[in-house]
Amino acid sequence: MRILLVDDEPDLRSTMKLLLEMDGHHVDVAANGREAVQTATVRVPDVIVMDLNMPVMDGVSAARILRQHPVTQGVTIIALSAFLSQGDWRERALTAGCGYCLAKPVDWPHLRSLLSRL
């Protein structure tokens, strides 16, 4: 599966990329929502795993744009955030077009299970 991994934290991005690749996935990375939109529209992934709270462009804004773009409108977006239990982050992510919301720190068995079902 081709996955676009989007997170502004370099260490987390590297670790998650390695773990996903060890599971046999092809992983592209982006450091913010703007890079995610640029990358996803050129190299259309099967799934986008995206942090919500990032500089430059957050994951909610990126999800809205990706849902409106013809080549990415059907791509599954999994939101990752440590803020899902605070405020309206979960509702905003789902309204923007994220299909799933997972809390950080990432529950790897849950993420693996979700990816295998997709």
Question: What is the domain class of 2-117 according to CATH?
Answer: alpha beta
With pLDDT > 90 as the criterion, what percentage of the chain qualifies? Answer: 85
pLDDT tens across 33-52, in order? 999 999 999 999 999 999 99
What pLDDT score does 43 carry? 95
14 vs 17: CA distance, rounded Å: 5
pLDDT band for position 25 (cuts 50, 70, 90): very high
Give tens-digit pLDDT for 61-90.
Answer: 999 999 999 999 999 999 998 887 777 888
Q: In one letter, which amino acid is 116?
A: S
By CB neighbour count within 10 A (0-12 exposed, 13-18 middle, 19+ buried), where does 91 fall? exposed
pLDDT on residue 85? 75
CB of 81 closer than 8 Å to CB of 67: no
User: Residue 32 in contact with residue 50, Cβ under 8 Å?
Assistant: no
Q: How far is CA 108 from CA 15, 87, 116, in A?
A: 12, 25, 12
